[in-house]
Structure 1
Amino acid sequence: MDRFDFPVGYYNLHKIKIIEFQLNRWHSFGYARLEDMVEAGKRINTADDWKEEMIRQAEKALAEGRTMNGAFYYRAAEFFTLPSDPDKLKLYDKFIDLFYNNVFANDDIERVLVPYEDGYLSSMKVPSRMDTTKGQIVIHGGFDSFIEEFYSMAVYFSNLGYEVIMFEGPGQGATLKKYNLPLTHEWEKPIKAILDYFNLDDVTLIGISMGGWLCLRASAFEPRIKRVIASSIAFDYMQIPPKFIASFARFLFKYPKLMNYLAELKMKKMPQEKWGIYNLMYITKKDTPLDASKMILELSEENLHSDLVKQDVLILTGEEDHFIPLKMHHKQVKALTNAKSITERIFTRDDQGHNHCQIGNFGLALDVMAKWIKNHSK
């Protein structure tokens, strides 16, 4: 694929925020037709309807010869499929097969398994499409993404002359699904493995969503990272809700049965919470909401070590992010007391990048990143 189009616009596609966001997500990254997402939004009533409708969209797209759409609709179908459902892995495998063996089979993609602990870190290398290489960019996601989702991003930077390496750390993608490595907050460890394996130095690290927290944590301990870009930073996950809610949550940790019971009630009433709790249990490989939620305590201000970050830093935030409130952006900027430089960009509704990870105008976010990297490179 020579290039991707990044459409502009965050659309009102569903009354449930997380469903609306997911429908916009695949369109904004350049993989889905808006008309398909509009149609799906009309046919989906709740998250329980999601899987079958997205499979229907995938099959329809493939029958019409739209293989890229079809592949990513299988990925979309996998998203809300619960870990207990055997279709979850089947849908993932279907997506991966179409991605590498059909849609992008002729692209210059190198798939690499990087040894790590008792398994491997799934990674992808995309070379510069220019005669010379301007430098290396390393990209990873966070709570729910696969590296294949960021391929349009990799192609964008490759066309600008950068070598791009994307990887899935513990708790992500194939690293979790195939090699059973659960999420860790000590992100400097997988980053070290990636930098060592590819013999990288003087790199730009980009972390998306929860990856924004993880990339800053890694930068605090890894000097080979010279520039770091955090998209939709959380800073401290226990500081996201109001203080009284956070205090109540900490109280519940002392009463496991009560916390698990209340979590079950929450999952029944709130689709975003249901998906979030189940996915957290899945990526941490824990059996109860309580045990999984202990990871949230690890993603803290103290463990982030913002004061140790000495690189050039770019922070991108959506003003109306439905996951991460704007206050977290300001807390993070204030905490970076020793950064070489700090550049911040808050995207507004006028930009159409006002939601999480600039879904609605991802192309603008990439343009901001590219100009910043150029200005902060030797």
Structure 2
Amino acid sequence: MDDPGLVALPVGFERFHRQDFVNYQLNRARALGSADRPELAAAAARLRSTADGAPVFAALSRRAAAEGRLREAAGCARLAEFFTPPSSALKAERYRRYRELFDAAVPGLARHEVPYAGAALPAYTLPASGPRAGATVLVHGGVRLGDRGVPPDLPADRRRRSFMRVSVRTRARLSPTLRAVVEQVLYMLDSSDPADVPDWFLGMNARHLGSGRVRHDVLLLCGEHDAFQPPVLTRAQARAFTGARSVTTRMFTRPEQADQHCQMANLELACQVLTAWLRSTGAEGPAPQPEPHP
């Protein structure tokens, strides 16, 4: 590749760790080109549980930074931050370190602070690597560090909440994936009550999401073995876009090595599908304006 900021992304989903949740996180780092396979394999052997992840990858990040390998340093710092519980005092510190390394590792990146609601939303701009031939693409990074919840329209029944509290705690102890989800949702809600977690998810219902208000072209990408957002949710979301100008659903398969969550293991293919779709829809002119909120 002519652009020094671009790297060829690896293809293939590896079995680094026996726990699927941990294994996916390591594969995500590899798929993004921010960690070497041998280094990940060696680190995986030292991970007896998710609690080991933060110190192991924090040490690897420091070593990579000292060796001038900023991309790997940022990738390992991101893993260290991810495996740090939201309740830990080190969470914010490790996030700041990851952000600094990421900014240093990606040439041409410019950081911005967008004023919003008395605070600011972080944003980046990254110019095209070649001649500019299309419009600007706005990428939103999800809700992991987003709004602290939508109040659900649910009755505050004490017996129901007591049951949900016990159920969530029990299930979270048995599943590392669910435990991470519960911790993250409680962090976003600024809550310590596990009963708030199912209420928060139930609050993201059809009425609150407002999918029918979308009037633009829509592309849904899904992996056939996505453990976080399975295909059944993709199909339901596609049906919910009743007012969209067009809805395209692309299911990635195991033979394509893109069947996992967010197509980790073949991001190049996912990017090709996305850019081809952007070109095809962009040639049709601007999308209709969305209806005003009732």
Please tell me the TM-score bracket, short chain as reference.
Answer: 0.7 to 0.9
Cα distance change, pair 363–132 in 1 and its aligned pair in 2 (3 A): closer
1:18 counterpart letter in structure 2: F
Deviation at 1:24, TM superposition (A): 0.3
Residue number in structure 1 paired with 2:109: 109
Name the CA distance, whole Å, in 2 between partners of 1:305 and 1:8: 36
Name the CA distance, whole Å, in 2 between partners of 1:318 and 1:297: 24
Deviation at 1:119, TM superposition (A): 0.9
Deviation at 1:133, TM superposition (A): 4.7
State whether structure 2 residue 83 is matched by structure 1 residue 80. yes
Name the CA distance, whole Å, in 2 between partners of 1:253 and 1:360: 45
Deviation at 1:312, TM superposition (A): 1.0
Return the match for 1:340 from 242, 245, 248. 245
Name the CA distance, whole Å, in 2 between partners of 1:359 and 1:132: 27
Return the match for 1:304 from 183, 202, 209. 209
State whether structure 2 residue 43 is matched by structure 1 residue 40. yes
Secondary structure, aligned partner of 1:350:
coil
1:360 counterpart letter in structure 2: A
Deviation at 1:142, TM superposition (A): 2.0
Query: Is the contact between residue 149 and residue 188 of structure 2 (CA under 8 Å) also seen in structure 1?
Result: no
Residue number in structure 2 paired with 1:157: none
Name the CA distance, whole Å, in 1 between partners of 2:155 and 2:183: 20
Name the CA distance, whole Å, in 2 between partners of 1:58 and 1:120: 28
Deviation at 1:59, TM superposition (A): 2.6
Q: Summarize the alignment of residues 165-244 of structure 1 with structure 2, pairs less than 5 Å apart.
A: 171-172=145-146, 182-184=147-149
Secondary structure, aligned partner of 2:243:
coil
Query: Is the contact between residue 10 and residue 360 of structure 1 (CA under 8 Å) also seen in structure 2?
Result: yes
Secondary structure, aligned partner of 1:71:
helix
Return the match for 1:264 from 169, 175, 182. 169
Name the CA distance, whole Å, in 2 between partners of 1:125 and 1:184: 27
Return the match for 1:30 from 11, 33, 39. 33
Deviation at 1:302, TM superposition (A): 2.5
- 361-370 or 55-64: bigger deviation: 55-64
For residues 48-72 of structure 1, the C-alpha deviation after alignment (integer angstroms, 9 at most, x for no partner) is: 1111211222233234332210122
Residue number in structure 2 paired with 1:314: 219
Provide structure 1 residue ranges, at least 5 long, that are not aligned to the other structure: 145-170, 173-181, 187-248
Provide structure 2 residue ranges, at least 5 long, that are not aligned to the other structure: 284-294
2:55 counterpart letter in structure 1: E
For residues 15-57 of structure 1, the C-alpha deviation after alignment (integer angstroms, 9 at most, x for no partner) is: 2111011000011112111111111222212111111211222
Secondary structure, aligned partner of 1:124:
strand
Deviation at 1:143, TM superposition (A): 4.2
Residue number in structure 2 paired with 1:17: 20
Name the CA distance, whole Å, in 1 between partners of 2:156 and 2:178: 19
Cα distance change, pair 311–185 in 1 and its aligned pair in 2 (3 A): farther
Residue number in structure 2 paired with 1:328: 233
Secondary structure, aligned partner of 2:84:
coil
Name the CA distance, whole Å, in 2 between partners of 1:298 and 1:116: 24
Query: Is the contact between residue 252 and residue 259 of structure 1 (CA under 8 Å) also seen in structure 2?
Result: no
Query: Is the contact between residue 77 and residue 98 of structure 2 (CA under 8 Å) also seen in structure 1?
Result: yes
State whether structure 2 residue 141 is matched by structure 1 residue 141. yes
Deviation at 1:87, TM superposition (A): 1.4
Cα distance change, pair 252–364 in 1 and its aligned pair in 2 (3 A): farther
1:127 counterpart letter in structure 2: P
For residues 256-307 of structure 1, the C-alpha deviation after alignment (integer angstroms, 9 at most, x for no partner) is: 2332233222222221111110111112222312224322122222222222
Larger radius of gyration: 2
State whether structure 2 residue 186 is matched by structure 1 residue 281. yes
Give the structure-2-normalised TM-score.
0.87
Name the CA distance, whole Å, in 2 between partners of 1:253 and 1:126: 50
Q: Percent identity?
A: 28
Name the CA distance, whole Å, in 2 between partners of 1:82 and 1:334: 36
State whether structure 2 residue 29 is matched by structure 1 residue 64. no
Name the CA distance, whole Å, in 1 between partners of 2:8 and 2:162: 49
Name the CA distance, whole Å, in 2 between partners of 1:272 and 1:278: 10
For residues 87-135 of structure 1, the C-alpha deviation after alignment (integer angstroms, 9 at most, x for no partner) is: 11111111122222x323xx22221111111211111111234444510
Cα distance change, pair 361–252 in 1 and its aligned pair in 2 (3 A): farther
Name the CA distance, whole Å, in 2 between partners of 1:37 and 1:121: 32
Aligned length in residues: 278
Residue number in structure 1 paired with 2:292: none
Name the CA distance, whole Å, in 1 between partners of 2:14 and 2:196: 36
Give the structure-1-normalised TM-score.
0.68
Residue number in structure 2 paired with 1:89: 92
Deviation at 1:355, TM superposition (A): 0.7
Name the CA distance, whole Å, in 1 between partners of 2:24 and 2:93: 24
Secondary structure, aligned partner of 1:255:
helix
